[in-house]
Chain A
Amino acid sequence: MSIPIYTYDAVIVGSGLAGSAAARELKQAGKNVAVITKLHPLRSHSGAAQGGINAALSDVDSIELHEFDTVKGADYLADQDAVELMCQKAPETIRWAERMGAAFSRTDDGKIAQRPFGGQSSPRACFAKDRTGLTLLQTIYEQALRVGVDFIDEWYAADIIYEDGKVSGVVAFNIRNQEKAIFNAKAVMFATGGYARAFKISSNAHANTGDGLSIVARHGLPLEDMEFVQFHPSGLSGSGILISEAARGEGGKLLNSEGERFMERYAPNKLELASRDVVARAIINEIREGRGVGPRKDAVYIDLTHLGKEKIMERLPELRDLAITFLGLDMIKEPILISATAHYSMGGIPVDIDGHVRKNNDALVEGFYAAGECACVSVHGANRLGANSVLEALLFGRHVGQSMVNDIETLYLREAEQSDADTMIAEMERILTNNGKETVPGLRNELQQSMTDNAGVFRTEETLSKQVEIVKELRKRFENIRIDDKSKIFNTDLQEAIELGHMLDYALFIVESALARKESRGAHYREDFTTRDDEAFMKHTMAYMDANGEISLDYMAVTPGKFEPQERTY
């Protein structure tokens, strides 16, 4: 049976802030665009962002300060041209979102209100109560809908058409009934979001399985800086569900099993408000040394009781609610249990400043773009600042949409063929008919647990080498899986298996890249190399996977700018 081929000017995979913003630009410019998304657009993880979105809007702030904070926060691994673009365009972007309908919290004179966030010299995070991502996602989706963007939801993008340095389409199937299709286009964009689901304790949505990264990598294209995964200090014990930085911002104290306010030992000046990586390491260290609390002794307390009921209800209602739901603990009355949680993916598909995907250090892929958390442009370097990532997704999503509009004038449509769907069909067939012994949940659990144990907040040569072997072993066992569901309708068993295959592939990029980076920088902390080594490692990792699944590493220069590397202290 032949597979239908649909033709567009542009096809976008992912409908979070990045994908939806690009789609609206393209549609408004009169381009024929489709957005393929495995979730309904409003279920995208962008909607979960709580805290805020940065822009130097106020008189006391400046774009240059925003740039500096971002580059310093990134531990100098960010590309400064991209940071400049982002910080300069941030005010316009926020105001544009406001003009489209975003329901920002306001100051008394009607302007967009801003709050302080970690690592920032000025209150810079614009917010909508504690649901900033929700209003932004709704707004951009609604306005894309308004201009008539074609959202193709609950479709799973499984492959790209890549040949001779050019991408000319996406191969996908309908999750509802396994109907397959080829989406042939002049330009293709990936906006598939983050990959922190490879870790057991994670703040990420179930959907954040990093499919986009592996799809790209399987064609021999590079992934950049994959070792940099941010661990947020305050995830709820057990689940990793996020308790925003606001809890520490409002005065939360961290206590160990001896009732000691242990941050006095790790960061005597900033205490709980030291940067995310410092606090996360302190927490894990307390637990490792046996001073953890809770039923599994795998957490520390954050105590907010001294704030009093009124302040908690006014400032942190959503967070209180989350702790009650997931821990049964009311922060008004008692301390709650938190620990570090895998939160954000700094690395991803390497792109230039206009979103063109890189083929290698020197060349670009024709007709292929990426933006948002799946991309590495790189504005976050080794560690991203709070409230910079929704900004990146929205701003670069739009910017890359514009760059596609321009490029489409000169890009040609390479016509797709039936055989372009072969890889996807073979992958689906294999999983549906394989009759092995391994289960998807079993392997996934082993992967996630071992990634948290061996490639988490603390890493060493020993744990990382061990993890390389574990991932390779799990990949072999994956060949031997069996799924229960053989039917066509909403076969989420099949989908989870395909997603696991992706997780296994990019997990190897994370550990191989981390193993080779013999220094500590930003979120990547090596106990055997505890300092930053600018001489040897002031460069981006570019990792490639060959046909046998082996990873090889290369490095790419960081784009310098006006800020010279300094030691990062807070």
Chain B
Amino acid sequence: MTTITTQTITFNVFRFNAETDYLPHYKTIEMEVTSEEVVLDILNRIKWDVDGSFSYRRSCRHGICGACAIKVNGKGVLACKERMNDLIELFGTELTLEPLSIKRAVKDMIIDKEDFWKKHEQVKPYLIDEIDEHPESENLVTPKEEAQLLEADYCIQCGLCHYSCPSLENNESYIGPAAFAAAYRFNADVRDKATLDRLDIVNAPDQGVWDCVKCFECQEVCPKEVNPIEKITKLHNQVFENGVAINNVATRHAVGFAHSIKKHGLLDEAELVRYSEGTVPMLMKHGKVGFKMFKVGKVVMPWNMPKSDKLDEVKALIKSSSTVKF
């Protein structure tokens, strides 16, 4: 960058104060934005130059503490790592700044994240083993074993996936992508001794991994490439491999998954949900989600099915779930 360029951008900023406002409103602010800036610079300038009462969370500004996640034109971003120029290229010169979840907003960009942290704690997100408090040597872990974590330890708890997940939006007991990634992170760790405990949690109906509708939203939005849906699929496998599968809607879902693959050679989301729950309950329970998925192009018509690029994953799942007889 040898020169700094500037553009005029119109921001529609979500404003809400749970103490004084009955309803939120949007404030329009016009600003000159330079090619050097990231979204956090804009939030700072709104607070520092326009209105000191504007509030948001931030700390590290290195994209590593996870505090600053918000939505711009509906797209989940880490404010300190999202370049303004990229957003302008994507959306043009009118941008709407909103909190991750409007229904959880308490003050402007700040939301109540209690549900997020509760879900996190629910999966026992710590290595479970007797800890040697004064060790003379470390556990030996080969680079290959270490690589099994599949970067799940890179999650910075920003909540972007959690508050973009349609399953969670419809079912508050669903544990959600970030917490599942954490469950996987410890289950994949050769040093951990609580795989079965965690599988009981992630295998339980309603809250568990089987309620994932595989929309890939969590994969798309994650700023750290943690890829939660990949971890969820791994947890599916672990459930079968460890023989803890039970015949319920949940596991039928996996068998449905296998069925769908066999039939089409690839994954048909709509077919899958129908197989596990029956058509009528599906429409009642997932109608909204299904429609949303359809809208964003996540439900693929059978004649339009893309080739799965995760074929190995899929094959492994077919193999492990086909040993279960329902």
Contacts and interface: CB of A to CB of B under 8 A. Distances in A.
Interface of A: 39-40, 42-45, 47-48, 92, 94-96, 98-101, 103-112, 128, 131, 134-135, 138-139, 142-143, 145-146, 176-177, 205-207, 238-239, 241-242, 294-295, 321-322, 325-329, 337, 439-441, 483-485, 487-493
Given A47-B60, A134-B64, A238-B36, A328 B1 contact: yes
A295 B2 contact: yes
A346 to B, nearest CB: 21
Given A39-B59, A146-B124, A441-B49, 17 more contacts: A43-B67, A92-B134, A100-B127, A100-B131, A103-B153, A107-B143, A108-B143, A110-B140, A110-B141, A134-B64, A143-B126, A206-B61, A242-B62, A322-B63, A327-B1, A487-B19, A490-B108
A138 B153 contact: yes
A105 B121 CA distance: 26
A300 B139 CA distance: 44
Contacts of B117: 40
A111 B48 CA distance: 49
B35 interface: yes
Interface in B1-50: 1-4, 17-20, 35-36, 38, 47-49
B64 A48 contact: yes
B137 A95 contact: yes
Nearest to B58: A206
A241 B141 CA distance: 33
Contacts of B110: 490
Given A131-B154, A439-B52, A143 B36 contact: no
B73 interface: no
User: Which of B2, B139, B186 neighbours the largest number of chain A CB atoms within 10 Å of its CB?
Assistant: B139
Contacts of B67: 39-40, 43
Interface in B132-188: 132-143, 145-146, 149, 153-154, 156-157, 186
A98 B140 CA distance: 10
Contact of B59 (A109, A176, A207): A207
A96 B138 CA distance: 8
28 contacts: A42-B65, A43-B67, A47-B156, A95-B137, A96-B134, A99-B135, A100-B127, A101-B186, A108-B142, A110-B139, A110-B145, A111-B138, A111-B140, A134-B64, A139-B127, A142-B127, A146-B128, A239-B61, A295-B2, A325-B81, A328-B1, A337-B1, A484-B51, A485-B53, A488-B19, A489-B17, A489-B19, A491-B55
B238 interface: no
A112 B157 contact: no
A92 B135 contact: yes
A143 B131 contact: yes
A108 B138 CA distance: 14
Contact of A484 (B20, B52, B131, B145): B52
User: Which of B61, B82, B137, B156 neighbours the largest number of chain A CB atoms within 10 Å of its CB?
Assistant: B61
Contacts of A493: 47, 52-53, 55
B231 to A, nearest CB: 15
Query: Nearest 6 pairs between A and B by C-beta?
Result: A101-B127, A110-B140, A484-B52, A485-B53, A441-B48, A142-B126
Contacts of B47: 441, 492-493
Contacts of B121: 145
A177 B110 CA distance: 13
Interface residues on B, range: 35 or more
A44 B145 CA distance: 29
Contacts of A483: 52
A44 B157 CA distance: 13
B107 interface: yes
Contacts of B82: 325
A491 to B, nearest CB: 8
A44 B131 CA distance: 24
A101 B189 contact: yes
Contact of A99 (B1, B63, B139): B139
A322 B64 CA distance: 11
A48 B128 CA distance: 25
B158 to A, nearest CB: 10
A205 B65 contact: yes
B118 interface: no
A145 B51 contact: no
Contacts of B49: 441
B106 interface: yes
Contacts of B140: 109-111
A231 B244 CA distance: 55
Contacts of A94: 138
B157 A145 contact: no
Contacts of A177: 19
A43 B65 CA distance: 5
Nearest to A176: B106
A118 to B, nearest CB: 20
A92 B149 CA distance: 24
A493 B51 CA distance: 10
Contacts of B228: none
Contacts of B132: 96, 99
Nearest to A143: B126
User: Which of A101, A106, A321 neighbours the largest number of chain B CB atoms within 10 Å of its CB?
Assistant: A101
Contacts of B20: 487
B66 interface: yes
A154 to B, nearest CB: 9
A45 B59 contact: yes
B119 to A, nearest CB: 14
A43 B78 CA distance: 14
A487 B17 contact: yes
B265 interface: no
B85 interface: yes
A281 B18 CA distance: 50
B83 interface: yes
A42 B61 contact: no
Given A295-B4, A328-B1, A95 B138 contact: yes
B3 A295 contact: yes
A135 B141 CA distance: 16
B60 A43 contact: yes
A298 B81 CA distance: 23
Contacts of A321: 63
B18 A489 contact: yes
B189 A95 contact: no
B191 interface: yes
Contacts of B189: 101, 103
B125 interface: yes
Nearest to B191: A101
Nearest to A103: B153
A48 B135 contact: no
Nearest to B124: A146
A92 to B, nearest CB: 6
B162 to A, nearest CB: 14
B105 to A, nearest CB: 11
A280 B85 CA distance: 31
B138 A98 contact: yes
Contacts of A337: 1
Contacts of A492: 47, 55-56
Contacts of A92: 134-136
Nearest to A241: B62
A104 B143 CA distance: 10
Contacts of B134: 92, 96
A131 B154 CA distance: 8
Contacts of A485: 52-53, 55
A207 B62 CA distance: 13
Contacts of A487: 17, 19-20, 53
A146 B3 CA distance: 51
Contacts of A47: 60, 64-65, 156
B131 A99 contact: yes
Contacts of A111: 138, 140
